[in-house]
Structure 1
Amino acid sequence: MSGLFSFLKRIRNINSPPNVPAKNADALRFGILGAARIAPNALIIPAISHPDVVVLAVASRDASKASAYAKKHRISKVYSGDDCYQAVLDDPDIDVVYIPLPNGLHYEWTMRALSSGKHVLVEKPMADTPQEAQQMIELAASKNLVLLEAIHYTFHPATHRVKELLDSGELGKITGIRADFAVPDAPHGIFFLKDDVRFKYDLGGGATMDMGVYPLSAVRFFTASEPVKVSSARAVGHAADPARIDREMTARLMLQSSIEAETYADFGMSGWGPFHIFPRLLKASVHVECERGALEYFNYPLAHVFHSIKIKPQGGKERVEKAYRFADGRGQDWWSSYRYQLEAFVEQVRGRAPHYWPEADDPVRQLQWVEGIYAAADMPARPASELYSPSHDFAV
C-alpha cells in the first residue's frame, strides 16, 4: 500500500510541482517554437519548479491556437502568423529557444536560433542527417552557446544508477544488450495523430528517427562503446509510406569489444491471440547480459513515472533497486527526467558543472548509426533538410 501511495504522490507532484519557488530576477527566459503536445511535459511543467527558468513566449502560426495554448499554460508572450518563429528569435527578452518542431525543421530553426545568439534545447533527433548535426554543433561552439539534444532519460538518476552498476564490475564485462521502445497499436490520438508528422518522410519521420532513438542511444550509453557494424536490420513499413517510413524496426549491431546488441522500436505493435484481438503492453526495457549475471532496467524512457532495476548475479540472490534522486542528494524524488534535464541545461548555461552532460559530437555519431540501420533495412536515409518556413503548424 505504501508503494502505491508513493507512486500516486509522485505522479501528482510531477504534474503539479509542490513548493513552487520564486523566480530569480535574472532567470533564463525560454521561447517555444510551435504549440507542441510534448512541450508541457518536456519544459513547461518542469520550469514551474525551477527558480532560474521562465517560459516567456510561444509561437504558433495559428493565432487562436497560440492564444489558447498560452492561456492554458500561463505564457505571457504570444507570437502568431507567418513570421512567428522568427519573431521569437528576434525578441531580445528571449535567452533560450526550445524547438519541438518536426525533425525536418530542427536544422533550420536551430541554426537560425544560434545565429540570433540564443541557447537551444532541441528535441531528438537533433537533425535529419549527421552532417546537419555537425554544422549545428560547430555553430553553437563558435558562438559559445549551449546546444542540447533532448534525450531526457539520460539525465535521470535511475539511468545513472544502472550505468554505475554495470561499470562497477559486479556482473563482469558486458557481453550483450537489448533495448526496446514500442507501443501497442491504439486509436489515433493516444500515442500518435492520424496524420502525424512522424509518418512523413520529407519531415524526417519513421520509427527509427523517433522512438528508435531511445534504444539506440541506450545501447551506446550503457556500454560506453560504439557500434562497428550493423549486422542486420528488418523494417516493417508504415501504411502511410511503406517504402520509406518504418512503423517497426529491429536491428542487430556489433559493438566494440565484441558486444552484441539488438534494438527494437515500433509505432504500433499488433495484438496477439486469435485475430490479434488482445492488445500488447508497452515495451520499454534495457536487458544487459554480462559475464557473471544480467541486469534489466524497466521503463527507462519514463523512469520518473515508475521503473525497476533488476540485478541478477549468477549464483546470487536477485535484487531490485530504484533511484528517483541522486545518491549525493541532488534532485527530488518527484522530478521527471525532463526536470533533471532542465537542471543540467541551466547549469551548463550558467557555467557550472551539471551532474551529467553528453559529449558534443554524440548526436552526430547517433545519426550515423541511424543511417546505417536504414541502409541495412533497405530503406532510404532521411533527406537533408530544406531551408524553408512551413506554411502551417505541425502537431507533434
Structure 2
Amino acid sequence: MGSALSFVTRVYTSFSPAKVALNPDHLQIGILSTGDLAALSLITPAKSHPILWSTLLLHGMKRKQRNLIEDPRIDAVYIPLPNSMHYEWTIKALKAGKHALVEKPIASTPEEAREMHELADSLNLVLLEGIHTRFHPALQRVKAIVDSGELGKIKHMSAKGLAPIQKADQVYKPSDFEQAKGSVMDIACYDVDIFRYLTGSEPTGVGSVAYTPSPKAKNMDKTADGVLEFPGEVTAAFSTDISLEIKLGFIPQFDFSLVVECEEGSINLSNYMIPQIYHSLTVTKSNGQKRVEKVYKPASGSGAHGEEWWSTFRYQLKAFVQKIRGGSPLEWVKKEDSVAILVWLQKIYEKVNARCLFFWSGFADYVVRWVWILDRLRAIIFMHS
C-alpha cells in the first residue's frame, strides 16, 4: 500500500508540482514555441524552481521570435523548434546576449553544432543541448557501477527507444524529414549519447544499420536498428521506433530500456526516458547474485540535491540554471558531446545511403523554413476557422 501511494504521489507531483516563490534575482527564460513539448520539458519543471520563471510563450512567427530574443528582460531562451531551425535561432539568441537551452539534436550537422558552441564560448554564454536523460540519477548510477569495476569491462550495450505515437505517418508530415526529423535524429541521439557516456570513448565505426521508411515520407526513417563499434571490440546496438500503436485507443506503449553486458555481469535499466514515473535498475552478477535498485535522487555525498518526483527535465533545468549562475553541475553535455552525437548520427544515415536534406545548405534550408512557416500559417487559419 505504501509503495502504491508513493507511486501515485510521485507521478502526480512530477506533472503537477506546487509553484514555489521566486527569488528576487530570478532568471526569465523565453520559449520560442508553444508546442506541447515546452509544457513537459520546461514550463512544468520551472514551477518548482525558485530562480527561474518561464515566460512569453510565442507561436512560431519570426517577428515575435525576434522580439523575444531582443527583449532585455529575458535572460535565456528555450528552443524546441523543428530541428532544422535550431542553428538559426540559437545563433540569433546568442548574438542577442541570451543563454540558450536547445532541444536535441542541437543542430542538423556537426559543423553547425561546433559553430554554435564556439560562439557561445566567445560571448561567455551558456549553451546546453537538451539530452535530458543524462541528468537523471538513475543513468548516473549505471555509469557509477560501470566505472567502479564491479562487473569488469563493458562487452556489449543495447538501448531501445520505442515511442508511443499512433499512426506516425499522420503525426510526422512529409516535410518533417527535411526538418531533420526521423527516428534516428529524434530518438537514437539519446542512445548514441548513452553509449559514449558509459564507455567514455568515441565509436570507431558503424557496424550495420537497417531502417523502415515512412510511407508518406519515403526518405524519413520510421524505425531504425543498428550497431556501433567501440574500442576494445565493444559493440552497442540501438533500436528506435516512432510508430508504436496505442492500445485500446488510449493506452500508450513504451520501451525505453538499456542493457549493459560486462565481463562479470550485466546492468538492466528500464524506462530511462521517464524514470521518475517508474524504473528498475537490475544488477546481475555472473555467479547468479542479483539486486534491484531504485534511484530517484542523487547519491549521498555527491553534493547534489533532488527530489524523488523530479523528472529528467527538472534535473536538466537545475543544471542549466546552475551553470548560468557560475556553478559546476554534477553532469553536463559539452560541446564535444553535441558535435560527436551529430557526427555519428550522420554516419548512421550514410551507412544506409540516406541522403538527408538537412545535410544540405543554402537553397534547401530556405525551402525548409518556408515549408515550416506555411505549415504554421495553415494551423493558425484552421484554429480560427
TM-score by length of 2: 0.89
Q: What is the alpha-carbon distance in structure 2 between the residues aligned to residue 392 and residue 212 of structure 1?
A: 29
Q: 2:179 aligns with which of 199, 203, 217?
A: 203
What is aligned with 1:287?
Answer: 259
Q: Deviations over 1:191-242 (max 9, x none)?
A: x682536962221111100012122221111222211000111111111222
Q: Is residue 378 of structure 1 aligned with residue 319 of structure 2? A: no
1:303 shift after superposition: 1.1
Q: 2:321 aligns with which of 346, 369, 373?
A: 346
Q: Give the CA RMSD over aligned residues.
A: 2.2
Cα distance change on mapping 1:355 and 1:271 into 2, 3 Å:
closer
Q: What is the alpha-carbon distance in structure 2 between the residues aligned to residue 293 and residue 10 of structure 1?
A: 31
Q: 2:207 aligns with which of 231, 237, 257?
A: 231
Tell me the secondary structure at the aligned position of residue 165 of structure 1.
helix
Q: Is residue 368 of structure 1 aligned with residue 343 of structure 2? A: yes
Q: What is the alpha-carbon distance in structure 2 between the residues aligned to residue 198 and residue 134 of structure 1?
A: 29
Cα distance change on mapping 1:366 and 1:198 into 2, 3 Å:
farther
User: Within 5 Å, which residues of 2 pair with 1:143-222?
Assistant: 143-183=123-163, 186-187=166-167, 194-196=170-172, 200-222=176-198
Letter in 2 for 1:120: A
Letter in 2 for 1:373: I
What is aligned with 2:85?
Answer: 105
Any gaps of 5 or more consecutive residues in structure 1? 62-80, 273-278
What is aligned with 1:268?
Answer: 243
Q: Deviations over 1:86-108 (max 9, x none)?
A: 01011110010100000011010
Letter in 1 for 2:314: R
Q: What is the alpha-carbon distance in structure 2 between the residues aligned to residue 282 and residue 339 of structure 1?
A: 21
Any gaps of 5 or more consecutive residues in structure 2? 380-385
Letter in 1 for 2:82: P
Q: 1:251 aligns with which of 216, 226, 249?
A: 226
Q: What is the alpha-carbon distance in structure 1 between the residues aligned to residue 193 and residue 77 of structure 2?
A: 24
1:152 shift after superposition: 0.5
TM-score by length of 1: 0.87
Q: What is the alpha-carbon distance in structure 1 between the residues aligned to residue 241 and residue 10 of structure 2?
A: 28
Cα distance change on mapping 1:195 and 1:323 into 2, 3 Å:
closer
Q: 1:297 aligns with which of 252, 257, 269?
A: 269
Q: What is the alpha-carbon distance in structure 2 between the residues aligned to residue 133 and residue 119 of structure 1?
A: 15
What is aligned with 1:71?
Answer: none
Q: 1:332 aligns with which of 302, 307, 315?
A: 307
Q: What is the alpha-carbon distance in structure 2 between the residues aligned to residue 245 and residue 283 of structure 1?
A: 21
Q: Deviations over 1:241-268 (max 9, x none)?
A: 22x2100111111112221111111111
Cα distance change on mapping 1:393 and 1:101 into 2, 3 Å:
farther
Letter in 2 for 1:125: P
Paired residue total: 364
1:59 shift after superposition: 1.1
What is aligned with 1:94?
Answer: 74
1:317 shift after superposition: 1.7
Q: What is the alpha-carbon distance in structure 2 between the residues aligned to residue 8 and residue 134 of structure 1?
A: 43
Q: Deviations over 1:37-69 (max 9, x none)?
A: 1111100011111011011211115xxxxxxxx
1:295 shift after superposition: 0.7
Tell me the secondary structure at the aligned position of residue 139 of structure 2.
helix
User: Within 5 Å, which residues of 2 pair with 1:110-129?
Assistant: 110-129=90-109
Q: What is the alpha-carbon distance in structure 1 between the residues aligned to residue 11 and residue 35 of structure 2?
A: 22
Larger helix fraction of residues: 2
Q: Is residue 357 of structure 1 aligned with residue 332 of structure 2? A: yes
Cα distance change on mapping 1:224 and 1:53 into 2, 3 Å:
same
Q: What is the alpha-carbon distance in structure 2 between the residues aligned to residue 132 and residue 90 of structure 1?
A: 22
Q: What is the alpha-carbon distance in structure 2 between the residues aligned to residue 281 and residue 317 of structure 1?
A: 31
1:6 shift after superposition: 1.0
What is aligned with 2:51?
Answer: 52
Tell me the secondary structure at the aligned position of residue 209 of structure 1.
helix
Q: What is the alpha-carbon distance in structure 2 between the residues aligned to residue 145 and residue 301 of structure 1?
A: 28
Cα distance change on mapping 1:115 and 1:33 into 2, 3 Å:
same
Cα distance change on mapping 1:131 and 1:3 into 2, 3 Å:
same
1:82 shift after superposition: 4.6
What is aligned with 1:64?
Answer: none
Of all paired residues, the percent bearing the same amino acid is 38
Q: 2:293 aligns with which of 321, 330, 333?
A: 321
Letter in 2 for 1:4: A
Letter in 1 for 2:44: I
Letter in 1 for 2:194: A
Q: Is residue 35 of structure 1 aligned with residue 34 of structure 2? A: yes
1:271 shift after superposition: 10
